Amino acid sequence: MVLRQMVVDAVVLEGRSIREVARSFGVSKSWVYELVRRYREGGELALEPLSRAPKTNPRQMSSDVEEKVVRLRKHLTDLGSDAGAQTIRWHLAKTDAHPPSASAIYRALRRRGFINPEPRKRPRASYVRFEADLPNECWQADMTHWQLRDGTEVEIINFIDDSSRLVLAIHVRPTINGADVRATFKEACERWGTPASVLTDNGAIFNAAQRKGRSGFESDLVSAGVLYKHSTPYHPQTCGKVERWHQTLKRFLAKNPAASLEELQCVLERVVRYYNDERPHRSRDGLTPRAAYESRDKAVAHTLINQPHQRIRRDVVDNDGKVTLRYKGRLLHVRIGYHHRARHVRLYIVDDHIRVLDQSGEFLGEITINPEKNYQTMAKPKEN
């Protein structure tokens, strides 16, 4: 969506030619023409990707059959009999040589409001298990909470290999921040090699999706050629390997209470040594995580193409002629110019390059970010 908006704004607001914009963004001219047409007809909402779902489904259950299903459901319920999808299908098969499947009947009952799905009652067979084929193909990372002996709250950050379940690095801190995540990842890479991908939840210590930016950790992954993946919000099952490790870890820690951070770090390292080297893992056919890790070739980084980081930031120039921008986890101050104060601007950001326009599409200048400086100065457009 960001790329679409950038393309349209370049044509509509900046007045650049279709050919120039297509060449600049590496897209086809026909696609640019189509986006501009949709924008002029329906505004920004029209830039959303169109659904590719078919308009009709020839395999959709007919209304007559659906009514039979509903009548049978009501009849069986009134009798106090089982009225599930399998039972209804069995009754339909008495008079229909080709009754709908049980799953189709279930969907029809759910669509008509007879069934309210209860996730706790999902059968185990309905869960789809995902697992990396090779060590270092995917690492999972997460933070969990614990208490010292006196009740002091602490946080533990750890990385685990998705395929072998090897615990790669673990540290305890009073509070885990982005710098701790980056340092722990760097330590794991130095010891075990750089992975092909990393999976985390949506915590602010990992990514800046909620702030519509890129965290320092995300920037490290891009620089190392590592694909970054994060779970769906409120869906911890996606990071199930590291969540399951937390359960195992806390059972160990409950038997070995620690009085200080240093003591707890020693306990963690002792637990990890036992878990990695001595404890057979049921999901690894009785191998220890280290044996499973060392038994296969390792995946490597730079196996996937990293796309440029693109975003649009809308802001108002403050009384000092500046706007703020978060870049690689740091808050930077961008000098737009005192004479632009109170002006509404748009920042079109592609990696470390920024083009600044006002609401009317006037090009104000551009910036190449210097990450060593907190204050960035915009270069004014050259006069013709």
pLDDT of 234 over the 80 cut: no
Average pLDDT over residues 107-134: 72
Percent of the chain with pLDDT over 90: 32
pLDDT of 193 over the 90 cut: yes
Residue 110 CB coordination number (10 Å): 13
Average pLDDT over residues 328-342: 86
| CA–CA gap between residue 268 and residue 176 (Å, rounded) | 16
Whether the CB-CB separation of 241 and 289 falls below 8 Å is answered with no
Whether the CB-CB separation of 130 and 95 falls below 8 Å is answered with no
List the one residue out of 22, 12, 9 whose CA is nearest residue 311: 9
pLDDT of 121 over the 60 cut: no
Lowest mean pLDDT, pick from 150-154, 169-173, 369-373: 369-373
List the one residue out of 211, 210, 166, 212 whose CA is nearest residue 188: 166
Quick check: helix, strand or coil at residue 347? Answer: strand
Percent of the chain with pLDDT over 70: 89
Lowest mean pLDDT, pick from 55-59, 91-95, 162-166, 199-203: 55-59
* Straight-line distance from the first to the last Cα atom of the chain, in angstroms, rounded to the nearest whole number: 33
| CA–CA gap between residue 321 and residue 334 (Å, rounded) | 9
Report DSSP letters for 161-175, one per residue: ETTT--EEEEEEESS
Q: What is the mean pLDDT of the chain?
A: 85
Lowest mean pLDDT, pick from 2-6, 96-100, 256-260, 309-313: 309-313
In the prediction, which pLDDT does 382 show?
Answer: 66
| pLDDT-derived band at 82, boundaries 50, 70, 90 | low
In the prediction, which pLDDT does 168 show?
Answer: 96
In the prediction, which pLDDT does 171 show?
Answer: 96
pLDDT of 122 over the 90 cut: no
Helix axes 18-25, 2-12, angle to 10 degrees: 150
pLDDT of 175 over the 60 cut: yes
List the one residue out of 353, 278, 262 whose CA is nearest residue 310: 353
In the prediction, which pLDDT does 255 show?
Answer: 81
- Statement: 139-294 belongs to CATH 3.10.20.30: no
pLDDT digits (tens, 9 = 90+) for 87-118: 788 788 878 888 899 889 988 998 888 887 66
| CA–CA gap between residue 11 and residue 17 (Å, rounded) | 6
One-letter identity of residue 66: E
| pLDDT-derived band at 318, boundaries 50, 70, 90 | very high
- pTM, two decimal places: 0.52
Kindly list the domain boundaries of the chain, sorted by start residue.
Answer: 2-47, 63-126, 139-294, 310-377
H/E run at residue 325 = strand 322-327
In the prediction, which pLDDT does 97 show?
Answer: 84
Give 97-161 as a 3 state SS string. Answer: CCCCCHHHHHHHHHHCCCCCCCHHHCCHHHCCCCCCCCCCCCEEEEEEEEECCCCCEEEEEEEEE
| CA–CA gap between residue 258 and residue 306 (Å, rounded) | 43
pLDDT of 80 over the 70 cut: no
In the prediction, which pLDDT does 362 show?
Answer: 87
